[in-house]
Amino acid sequence: MSEKKVTIFIDDVPYQLSTEDNLLAGVLSKKLNLPYFCWHPSMGSVGACRQCAVTQFQDEADQRGRIVMACITPVTDGMRISIKDKAASEFREQVIAAMMTNHPHDCPVCAEGGECHLQDMTVMTGHSVREYQGTKRTFNNQYLGELVGHEMNRCITCYRCTRFYNDYAGGKDFGVYGSKNQVYFGRQSEGDLESEFSGNLVEVCPTGVFTNKIFSSHYTRKWDLQSAPSVCSHCSVGCNLSIGERYGSVRRVMNRYNGDINGYFICDRGRFGIGFVNGEQRIRQAKGIAQQSPVTLTKLDVAKAFSHFRKKQFIGIGSARASLEANFYLKNMVGAEQFSPGYNDQEMKVAAQHTQLLESIKAPSLADIENSDFIFVIAEDISQTAPRMALSVRQALRNAANDKAAKIGIPSWQDSAVRTIGGKLLSPLFSLQSTTTKLDDVSEKALLLPIEQITKCLATFENLLRLGNVQSINNDKAVEDAIADLVEQDQLSVAEQSFIASIYKGLRKANKPLFISGTSSVCAEILSNIANIMSAFKPQNEIVAPELIIVPPCSNSVGLLSILDEHSLSIEQVLMQLNDPDKSYQGLILLEQELEKLSANQITQLRKSAKTLIVLDHSAHRLSSIADIVLPVAAVTEGDGHYVNYQGRAQQFVQVHAPVVPIQESWRWLDNIGDIVGIKVPKTSTEASGLNPCQSVQVVAKNNDCESLTQLHQFFTDTYAQWPMLIAKKSIEPQQKSIARMSHRASGRTAQMANITVHEAKTTQKLDDDFTFSMEGKSAGQSSDMPFAWAPGWNSNQAIAQFQTEINGQLLKQKEAVFIPISTKITNNLSWRLTENSKESSANNLAANLLTYVHQKHVYFSEWQASLTPEFQMQRQSNQIFINAEAAQQAGVKKGQWCKVIFSATNEKMHLASQSVISQVFIVNHLPFSLAFGNFALCQPLTQLVEMSVSLACDQEVTDYLAHFNDGLIAAKQSKKNILERLKIIDQTIPIRLFSGGLNDG
Amino acid sequence: MAESISNNNIKPLTQWVNLQQPLSFDAYCQAGGYQGAKVALEHSPNDVLDIVKNSGLKGRGGAGFPTGMKWSFVPMFEDGDENAPDNKYLVANADEMEPGTFKDRLLLEGAPHQLVEAMIIAAYTIGANKGYIFLRGEYHLAAKRLQQAIDEAYQNNWLGEKIQGSSYTMDLYVHCSAGRYICGEETALINALEGKRATPRAKPPFPQVSGLFGKPTIVNNVETLCNLPHILKNGIEWFQAIAPNSDAGSKIYGACGRVKKPGLWELPMGPTLREVLYDYAGGMQEGLQFRGLLPGGASTDFLVEEHLDTPMDFDSIAKVGSRLGTGGLIVLDDKNCPVGMVLNLMRFFAQESCGWCTPCRDGTPWAVEVLNRIEQGQGKIQDLDTLAKLCDFMWIGKTHCALAPGAVEPLRSALKYFHDDFLQHIEHGCCHYNLSMTPKRMKVSQASISPLSVKAGQ
């Protein structure tokens, strides 16, 4: 984007502003106060609220000027405007006065109070006396689900909610109703909001119409929250969050601006999925460690409990939801040969392919995605597995309309104008999936195929590309001819052919193409095919090589990948090793790993084989209940660490609040254990050179505990050459004052525990902390990682404009993003390479008359931690299965009918496994006969390939199922109630921790 | 209505109007219909555009924008141009909802073929292959008659493929509105036609460039369009000669209120207000005196006695501080309360606000609230300041479209010309036009308990 700066005069003071954005954005980027409602930095201008009026003068001589709306006025060279001008400022005040004719006076009970954009703007305009004497209009509110509250009387009709929900995020179940001053924003009828982005309404709404229901149920004012910069732990995008807590319980998650990643929006999983931190299933006490003191667990207790494991060999299973530090620590504690990421064989193959792709191709950020003009999504439902990415993809599709508008001189920030010009015009999006996705409505072509067939299509597409390198395929006809030649070998259907041809044609016109795939399908062939496709793009070819994103499932999947090597074990290998009589393992350490994919049999087997089972986790699961030792681990809000996102970007999450001991970060536990069990460190480099890495390590007992993340990093850096530099040494930097976690309006720490003691409690101290547990310290905006957004006069999250270099730009204090190197050493292990055999076997499977069942991903439930949130459980849907029309006809079932679906399969050992599911059936027209998908998972050992029979369910079966299903809903509701009751009790009793670190020495 | 058309000989627009039974296709052709369209099809679109431009035809919807100029903003493309849109559209704005205005109804119900012919000419000129008649929902009879005319035109190859052997193809549809005043605003109309909320669009882009479904679109008033067949048939000179001293052509004027003969009259452009009021509408009813009038529908400023000699053309009316609008007079007499009249109008505008921009959405109901209190005798003297402030608040440039400034026009002029009425309402605490009300605020001498005299406001 060619940035052009011009001089304009605001109240006779010259400013340099960019001509790329509108006048309001320019004014705000100069940190001048100009109120607004309907404009949004990322959604552009529509000129509805008329709040940002300024006076524009024709020239120096013009004294009268005319009122213009800054948000719909372009910045032009030499323009003269006045914000202070009487006519304009009176008009702005009058606009607020007009809005206030209907806005209720319920600020004391409004969840938005204290961070209300409407309050801020009212004060900013100076409106303070009410002249309107009439009655106010009233509305009925709607039940919009468990996440977002609705209070329509507060609405000032800025239209931001519908512009976000419908226009920006593509929601279908929300809208504007009525007219005149009776405009209603809501659903056609009450019900759960269906969009994955509904929570953003809370931040988008300038006042309290849409509120965070979970926050409201255990409410505190924004200024009493203690917040810290965090990173979302629910998917691999790595959205930046500001998490707020009070009295030791997490209250809410807000978006934290990061121009490269999430910008102003996050998904509902990120916003509401934090419930697991306060959840009932949390592990709060250590198990299997004798505690000396009745009060607290000490390091001595731990040392004693582990003393008989001194220098014993464990197998460690890391996890993609544990921090980079913890995984790295575990690997070096048990040794590379005994470390497993908890992946099965198939997943290890995927991981091997994934590391290769990560090493060779740098994945674009979300901001880059929004510049793409061609997107091809392959076998990954990003709308559910990485929703924020899907939102960016939606924005990229608007580039075609932006270009069309630019041609007639309409800039992209003129939102409504661009939408008028664009109509239904979208940049091309192609989607090749096994399930329907929420992006289908905006895709040019969406094809549903079983995964094997997808790999075939990709192979054909690669061949087409390679053909294009040799002979020129320079028109649409040539593409079709070339395809026709190729498919003779590959046997593709007409739909598949035309799909591939369309992609090729689309790519020829694209300047910034992007391919997105993922690992949900656990199919290494797909990634290998994509790698081949990427290598088929030749620089001399007329087609621009696309950028590539591979979406892994978890917040730290890529971090985990980065420490894998040729020795890393798959879960099958772990089981084998444990049973190997030649190797005498002391046991198994599970680091934040629930091993979700293991069948009950495998779990039993695992338990039997492991002499000692040590589980480090924050929430209870199948393995924690059968473990010998359970160590309670800090959840993301309770500790420090790093996650690595899908690009390889390492981001630190900062402790929001000190957990109650013995809960501490995994790496602290490992550090405590490491003292006793011993850790493996490389021998000095001169000794090690030329040796096999196995021989180059020695086991040492680590003597000094790492008291802080900084110390841990220092230890890693000093000991391990491969540890990436993520935190600069503290001693190098001049001693800087830390940033306050609390707002400086926090209701006084003297009052915090007044019901327990009138003595003023000292604030919690923490070593090497960049943030203080206090309202003292530097203000939030002084940090690159702002705990919360606040500026004088700007109490809402909209304050962020005060801390950006320009609107939608970088933060003023932005620090350089850190990308960690990805090692491809895992590919040296031949077991994880793809062989021709594996391809054939998949082909054989297809030949057998089997059907592929795919478990459709869901934003609430496809990530384990988030799925524990009771509010999500309360919105769970009953079973649905989607089948082909022909199959439905054969089975004699119709859309919406309750059916009994029986899945069966024979595994290698010829055991017949079968599962019967009561489900509602839905028909998808373009679904192949050999593919079905649904919202329920098949039990192990049933794999994707099954035989399926569908028949109408009898009434009794349906009644039983629904009763069971409703029990689940009621249990979730009860769980929500219990949590709330417990939290409200804790509010009264939680002691302030004087020191936030690990366990005491004892 | 039609009976009251004057003796004036040149009345091209209404010459074929028959409200009882509109002319069938054959009768219409016999009377000289479809000759204008024939002339148009013989010329190139560019030539027709020049004719319309040079004729001096101005839009009859209220704004008075030169029609040819409006059309010339539509991008024209050579055959096979890659950038050419797949379609352009012509829309007839028949959503006649301006209070006091019923001129289009006459043309729609009385001479539907005339509009069909006109739309063929206009669509041909701008290169549109699809036309819509956006019809006010309540005009059921018009809908029926228009559809009949369209069917006949299809049967006789005046619509459909290759019209009359030319290479030009056109389809024409009647779209019955769901009924909102704001649909008279062309971009709100387009949104409504697309099935969206009837909210005016941001401009630019103007509909000529990006209108219906994002394609170049022209929206013209029914009366404007109906001039076209006659201009094409009779030529520019003829058209301009109709009203030599004013804007070109003839116009349908109307009057309602307590006049002797409310109705519609097609007259050469530029009769004086007095002529229309007294010569055609027959003056005030017995026992009533003239106080003021809105010259062109509800959204125009009041004019009073002193303005009655102003010619009713776009510029002259503008000079005295009002707008010609639709040319339909709403006449206020001395037995009706001006405050009540303004309140009634303001209620209408508050009801019809689309709800998009704050000044209109929340300003018009606020004005209603204040006016209502004054009318009920509960006003305060500060309310007049509030009203003045609201007039400024909703004025041109501060709102998204022209609805709110239009709503303000009768109010601000009433505050000027009938200021004493407002004061009397406030001071006496009652409305003297409403005989059931008694003064509340203070003792009022018997003499003053009567409506103000005709000249009181001036």
pLDDT in tens, A220-241: 999 989 999 999 999 999 999 9
What pLDDT, on a 0 to 100 scale, did the predictor assign at position B145?
97
Across residues B206-227, what is the average pLDDT?
95
Is the pLDDT assigned to residue B457 strictly greater than 50? no
Sheet containing strand A249-255, edge to edge, reads A226-231, A240-246, A249-255
Interface of B with A in 126-145 (CB under 8 A): none
Which residues from B are below 8 Å from A182, CB to CB?
355
φ and ψ of B407, to 5 deg: -65, -30
Top-confidence residue, B2 or A447? A447
Amino acid present at A414: Q
- Judge whether A510 and A399 are in contact, CB under 8 Å: no
Is the pLDDT assigned to residue A358 strictly greater than 50? yes
Residue B294, burial from CB neighbour count under 10 angstroms (0-12, 13-18, 19+): buried
Is the pLDDT assigned to residue B449 strictly greater than 90? no
Is the pLDDT assigned to residue B4 strictly greater than 70? no
Class of domain B243-333: alpha beta
Which residues from B are below 8 Å from A167, CB to CB?
none
- In order of A52, A528, A857, the CA distances from A517 in angstroms are 43, 11, 14
Distance CA B273, CA B295 (A): 8
Shortest distance between the Cα of A71 and any Cα of chain B, in A, equals: 12
Which residues from B are below 8 Å from A66, CB to CB?
397
Which residues from B are below 8 Å from A53, CB to CB?
398
Q: Which two tokens stand for residue A448?
A: 């549903």
> Does A50 contact B397 at a Cβ distance shorter than 8 Å?
no
Top-confidence residue, A423 or B144? B144
Nearest CA in chain A to B392: A91
> Does A47 contact B202 at a Cβ distance shorter than 8 Å?
yes
Among positive and negative, which fits the CA dihedral A414, A419, A422, A428?
Answer: positive
Whether chain A has a CB inside 8 Å of the CB on B214: the answer is yes
Shortest distance between the Cα of A50 and any Cα of chain B, in A, equals: 6
Percent of chain A with pLDDT over 70: 93
Distance CA A758, CA A747 (A): 15
What pLDDT, on a 0 to 100 scale, did the predictor assign at position A874?
95
Q: Which two tokens stand for residue A166?
A: 């419908």
Nearest to A529, CA basis, from A385, A393, A378:
A378
Q: What is the CATH number of domain B2-240?
A: 3.40.50.11540
Q: Which two tokens stand for residue A981?
A: 């009751």
> Does A420 contact B358 at a Cβ distance shorter than 8 Å?
no
* Average pLDDT score, chain B: 91
Whether chain B has a CB inside 8 Å of the CB on A99: the answer is yes
Whether chain A has a CB inside 8 Å of the CB on B353: the answer is yes
Residue A636, burial from CB neighbour count under 10 angstroms (0-12, 13-18, 19+): buried
Whether chain B has a CB inside 8 Å of the CB on A164: the answer is no
What pLDDT, on a 0 to 100 scale, did the predictor assign at position A333?
93
Q: What is the CATH number of domain B338-457?
A: 1.20.1440.230
> Does A183 contact B355 at a Cβ distance shorter than 8 Å?
yes
Amino acid present at A765: Q
Percent of chain A with pLDDT over 90: 71
Q: What burial letters (b/e) apply to A872-899, b meaning 16+ CB within 10 Å? A: bbbbeebbebbbbeebbeebebeeebbb
Across residues A271-279, what is the average pLDDT?
95
Top-confidence residue, B331 or A906? B331
What pLDDT, on a 0 to 100 scale, did the predictor assign at position B434?
85
Give, as one character, the DSSP assignment of residue A282: B
pLDDT digits (tens, 9 = 90+) for B66-82: 999 999 999 998 877 88
Across residues A62-66, what is the average pLDDT?
93
What pLDDT, on a 0 to 100 scale, did the predictor assign at position A945?
78
Would you place residue A694 in the very low, low, confident or very high pLDDT band (cuts 50, 70, 90)? very low
Whether chain B has a CB inside 8 Å of the CB on A66: the answer is yes
pLDDT digits (tens, 9 = 90+) for B51-110: 999 999 999 988 889 999 999 999 998 877 888 888 999 999 999 999 999 999 999 999
Whether chain A has a CB inside 8 Å of the CB on B381: the answer is no
Which residues from B are below 8 Å from A413, CB to CB?
none
pLDDT digits (tens, 9 = 90+) for A117-147: 999 999 999 999 998 999 999 999 999 999 9
Is the pLDDT assigned to residue A696 strictly greater than 70? no
Is the pLDDT assigned to residue A556 strictly greater than 90? yes
Distance CA A585, CA A590 (A): 14
Residue ranges of the domains in chain B? 2-240, 243-333, 338-457
Nearest CA in chain B to A131: B386
Amino acid present at A236: S
Across residues A972-992, what is the average pLDDT?
87
Would you place residue B413 in the very low, low, confident or very high pLDDT band (cuts 50, 70, 90)? very high
Whether chain B has a CB inside 8 Å of the CB on A102: the answer is yes
Shortest distance between the Cα of B346 and any Cα of chain A, in A, equals: 13
In the block, residue with structure tokens 């950006």: A804
Would you place residue A752 in the very low, low, confident or very high pLDDT band (cuts 50, 70, 90)? low
Give the CA count within 13 Å in the CB-facing half-sphere of A359: 14
In the block, residue with structure tokens 């090749």: A432
Whether chain B has a CB inside 8 Å of the CB on A176: the answer is yes
What pLDDT, on a 0 to 100 scale, did the predictor assign at position A112?
94
Which residues from B are below 8 Å from A99, CB to CB?
358, 362
Which residues from B are below 8 Å from A422, CB to CB?
214
> Does B358 contact A95 at a Cβ distance shorter than 8 Å?
yes
pLDDT digits (tens, 9 = 90+) for A449-469: 999 899 999 999 999 999 888
Distance CA B255, CA A507 (A): 64
Shortest distance between the Cα of B342 and any Cα of chain A, in A, equals: 18
Whether chain B has a CB inside 8 Å of the CB on A178: the answer is yes
Shortest distance between the Cα of B62 and any Cα of chain A, in A, equals: 23
Nearest CA in chain A to B196: A176
End-to-end CA distance of chain A: 60
Q: Between A and B, how many CB-CB pairs are < 8 A?
A: 111
Would you place residue B451 in the very low, low, confident or very high pLDDT band (cuts 50, 70, 90)? low
Shortest distance between the Cα of A221 and any Cα of chain B, in A, equals: 29
Give the range among A39-43, A775-779, B247-251 with minimum mean pLDDT.
Answer: A775-779
> Does B400 contact A416 at a Cβ distance shorter than 8 Å?
no
> Does A176 contact B197 at a Cβ distance shorter than 8 Å?
yes
Whether chain B has a CB inside 8 Å of the CB on A48: the answer is yes
Would you place residue A691 in the very low, low, confident or very high pLDDT band (cuts 50, 70, 90)? very low
Interface of A with B in 121-140 (CB under 8 A): 131-134
Nearest to A48, CA basis, from B191, B93, B355, B58:
B355
Nearest to A305, CA basis, from A608, A672, A619, A662:
A672
pLDDT digits (tens, 9 = 90+) for A753-775: 666 677 777 778 888 888 988 88
Give the range among A175-179, A454-458, A720-724, B129-133 with minimum mean pLDDT.
Answer: A720-724
Which residues from A are below 8 Å from B374, CB to CB?
none
Q: What CATH number matches the domain at A835-965, 3.50.30.10, 3.30.70.20, 2.40.40.20, 2.60.40.650?
A: 2.40.40.20
Among partner residues B209, B393, B398, which is closest to A408 by beta-carbon distance? B209
- Judge whether A139 and A156 are in contact, CB under 8 Å: no
What pLDDT, on a 0 to 100 scale, did the predictor assign at position A784?
86
Across residues A816-837, what is the average pLDDT?
87
Q: What burial letters (b/e) apply to B309-321, b meaning 16+ CB within 10 Å? A: ebbbbbebbeeee
Interface mutation target, options A179, A184, A415, A416, chain B, most CBs of B under 10 Å: A179
> Does A425 contact B209 at a Cβ distance shorter than 8 Å?
no
Distance CA A288, CA A653 (A): 30
Global pTM reads: 0.94
- Judge whether A193 and A872 are in contact, CB under 8 Å: no
Nearest to B125, CA basis, from B174, B85, B88:
B88
What pLDDT, on a 0 to 100 scale, did the predictor assign at position A686?
47
What pLDDT, on a 0 to 100 scale, did the predictor assign at position A416?
93
Whether chain A has a CB inside 8 Å of the CB on B195: the answer is no
What pLDDT, on a 0 to 100 scale, did the predictor assign at position A751?
66
User: Which residues touch A968 (CB under 8 Å, ≥6 apart)?
Assistant: A873, A876
Q: Which two tokens stand for residue B91?
A: 């829309």
What pLDDT, on a 0 to 100 scale, did the predictor assign at position B437?
77
Architecture (CATH level 2) of domain A351-379+390-426+447-549 = 3-Layer(aba) Sandwich (3.40)
pLDDT digits (tens, 9 = 90+) for A831-880: 998 876 555 444 445 445 688 899 999 999 999 999 999 999 999 999 99
Amino acid present at A95: V
Distance CA B246, CA B317 (A): 12
Shortest distance between the Cα of B209 and any Cα of chain A, in A, equals: 9
Q: What angle do CA A231, A234, A237 make, to 5 degrees?
A: 65
Top-confidence residue, B276 or A470? B276
pLDDT digits (tens, 9 = 90+) for A561-593: 999 999 999 999 999 999 888 888 999 999 999
Class of domain A299-345+558-719: alpha beta
- Judge whether A53 and A67 are in contact, CB under 8 Å: yes
Beta strands in A152-214 (DSSP E): 175-177, 184-186, 210-212
Distance CA B97, CA B174 (A): 17
In the block, residue with structure tokens 């417990």: A982
Which residues from B are below 8 Å from A91, CB to CB?
393, 398
Q: What burial letters (b/e) apply to B233-254, b meaning 16+ CB within 10 Å? A: bbebeebbebbeebbbbbbbbb
Whether chain A has a CB inside 8 Å of the CB on B201: the answer is yes
Nearest to B387, CA basis, from B370, B400, B399, B375:
B370
> Does A181 contact B197 at a Cβ distance shorter than 8 Å?
no
Is the pLDDT assigned to residue B3 strictly greater than 70? no
Q: What angle do CA B219, B225, B227 make, to 5 degrees?
A: 155
pLDDT digits (tens, 9 = 90+) for A621-632: 999 999 999 999
Give the range among A158-162, A838-842, B59-63, B167-171 with minimum mean pLDDT.
Answer: A838-842
Q: What does A583-608 look like in DSSP terms, one character per residue?
A: S---EEEEES---TTS-HHHHHHHHH
Across residues B330-356, what is the average pLDDT?
96
Residue ranges of the domains in chain A? 5-99, 299-345+558-719, 351-379+390-426+447-549, 835-965
- Judge whether A739 and A780 are in contact, CB under 8 Å: yes
Give the CA count within 13 Å in the CB-facing half-sphere of B209: 17
Interface of B with A in 149-188 (CB under 8 A): 180
Whether chain B has a CB inside 8 Å of the CB on A903: the answer is no
Shortest distance between the Cα of B382 and any Cα of chain A, in A, equals: 10
Q: What is the ipTM of this complex?
A: 0.92
Q: Calculate helix-pair angle for A451-470, A524-536, nearest 10 degrees.
A: 10
Distance CA A763, CA A775 (A): 10
What pLDDT, on a 0 to 100 scale, did the predictor assign at position B5?
41
Give, as one character, the DSSP assignment of residue B166: S
Among partner residues B355, B363, B369, which is closest to A179 by beta-carbon distance? B355
What pLDDT, on a 0 to 100 scale, did the predictor assign at position B402?
93
Would you place residue B179 in the very low, low, confident or very high pLDDT band (cuts 50, 70, 90)? confident
φ and ψ of B75, to 5 deg: -65, 135
Q: What burial letters (b/e) apply to A198-217, b meaning 16+ CB within 10 Å? A: bbbbbbbbbbbbbbbbbbbb
Shortest distance between the Cα of A54 and any Cα of chain B, in A, equals: 11
Whether chain A has a CB inside 8 Å of the CB on B244: the answer is no
Q: What CATH number matches the domain at A5-99, 2.40.50.180, 3.10.20.740, 3.30.56.10, 1.10.3720.10?
A: 3.10.20.740
Across residues A319-332, what is the average pLDDT?
95
> Cβ atoms within 10 A of the Cβ of A319, count?
27
Top-confidence residue, B434 or B125? B125
Would you place residue B452 in the very low, low, confident or very high pLDDT band (cuts 50, 70, 90)? low
What pLDDT, on a 0 to 100 scale, did the predictor assign at position A68?
96
Q: What is the enclosing helix (H) or strand (E) of A681?
A: strand A679-682
Whether chain B has a CB inside 8 Å of the CB on A414: the answer is yes
Among partner residues B357, B373, B382, which is closest to A50 by beta-carbon distance? B357
